[in-house]
Amino acid sequence: MAIDKYTSRRFDIQSEEAIDLAVLEAVPFDYPDSATEVVYETEEFTFVCPWTGLPDFCRLVIRYVPHHSLVELKSLKYYLTSYRNVGILQEHAVNRILQDLVQLLQPVSMVIEAEYKERGGLKTKAVARYEKEQ
């Protein structure tokens, strides 16, 4: 019987504990009642499949209406980079980012959208939403 040379091939995969939540910083937002929409986009967000270690790449859009805080951009870049070798499902990644940023910022609303590069003939888009309770 032939042994599949790919069956045992794995790359180093970090657990979700490697996501650097501590690096995130909030800065004051001086216009809390302005209904300002803030949008951050990157084509360079990546993490890995939790089973194979193969990379997932996506276009990530973070859209929110701040209340009293904004996320400091350098801290956001370091936070997103910390996902690079983390094994996490595509649908879980958007929800984890949403959870972490809502906890930090307590925004009026927030949407995290991820359009993943096609893999195996499938293209995935995942969207996670938060609305502050009135």
Active site residues: 49, 56
Residue 115 · residue 78 · CB < 8 Å: no
Burial class, 6, CB count within 10 angstroms (exposed 0-12 / middle 13-18 / buried 19+) = exposed
Sign for the CA dihedral angle at 52, 19, 91, 123 comes to negative
d(CA 17, CA 1) in angstroms, rounded, equals 39
Question: Among 20, 4, 2, which residue's Cα sits nearest to residue 97?
Answer: 20
Residue 48 · residue 54 · CB < 8 Å: yes
